[in-house]
């Protein structure tokens, strides 16, 4: 499953949401969108991890949290921080992978669609047969595009694609490592639980990148159904 399959799914989700479009709870987001000036959110997802590096598959929990700030006319200007954590122990061979990312995003929304730039840091550790085999870290730079469409009273559907290219990747033990282009596609339904920006989030994520150490490894793929909560406020 690559970018060619991710984008059509994202466009289809936005099209379905547009068909359901109806006035939302009054809020200064424009186009019927309910957008607070600041929000904090977190979600937990149950991942299925298919790893060439670990030569196995695994399941477990991935945690994501962050905040968003909106401003300008119709709150079309956005800034956000996202952090994620996961740890996978592959039962077949007892290999282990842990990942940490932190990404800062600045974007502009025009109507229901938005685009922007993203940058941050990434870390990935790999333990093979009980021994430290990889401890990679570096920076990331890329872009962010998506669509946010309201439906019902205060609800919305959002599709989001984050593309990050790692750079300056190093290993703590000077091993030859590489981390390839990362694609992270999210689709979330957000349901307003109250007029005070308390929202329930239900969604699905797909993540793909590559990782090698000393020439071994390859594609890393994760599929993640997730549930989360967002708390917002107007300043």
Distance set, CA 234 to CA 29, 66, 110 (Å):
11, 17, 21
Domains and CATH numbers, the chain: 3-233 (2.40.160.20)
Q: Each residue of 81-136: pLDDT tens digit? A: 999 999 999 988 989 999 999 999 999 999 999 999 999 999 999 999 889 999 99
Q: Each residue of 11-58: pLDDT tens digit? A: 344 333 333 333 334 455 667 888 899 999 999 999 999 999 999 999
Tokens 């932190």 correspond to what residue?
102
- Structural Rg of the chain based on CA atoms: 19
């Amino acid at each position: 499953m690559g970018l060619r399959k991710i984008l059509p799914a994202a466009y289809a989700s936005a099209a379905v949401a547009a068909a359901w479009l109806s006035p939302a709870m009054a809020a200064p987001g424009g186009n019927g969108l309910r957008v607070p000036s600041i929000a904090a959110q977190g979600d937990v997802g149950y991942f299925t991890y298919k790893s060439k590096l670990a030569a196995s598959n695994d399941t477990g929990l991935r945690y994501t949290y962050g905040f968003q700030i909106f401003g300008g006319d119709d709150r079309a200007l956005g800034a956000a921080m996202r952090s994620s954590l996961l740890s996978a122990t592959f039962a077949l061979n007892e290999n282990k992978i842990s990942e940490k990312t932190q990404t800062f995003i600045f974007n502009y929304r025009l109507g229901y669609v938005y685009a922007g730039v993203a940058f941050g840091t990434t870390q990935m550790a790999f333990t093979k047969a009980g021994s430290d085999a990889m401890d990679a870290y570096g920076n990331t730079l890329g872009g962010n595009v998506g669509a946010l469409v309201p439906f019902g009273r205060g609800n919305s559907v959002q599709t989001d694609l984050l593309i990050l290219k790692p750079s300056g990747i190093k290993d703590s033990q000077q091993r030859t490592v590489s981390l390839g282009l990362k694609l992270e596609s999210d689709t979330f339904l957000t349901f307003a639980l109250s007029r005070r920006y308390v929202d329930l989030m239900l969604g699905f994520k797909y993540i793909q990148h590559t990782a090698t150490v000393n020439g071994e490894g390859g594609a890393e793929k994760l599929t993640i159904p997730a549930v989360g909560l967002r708390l917002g406020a107007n300043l």
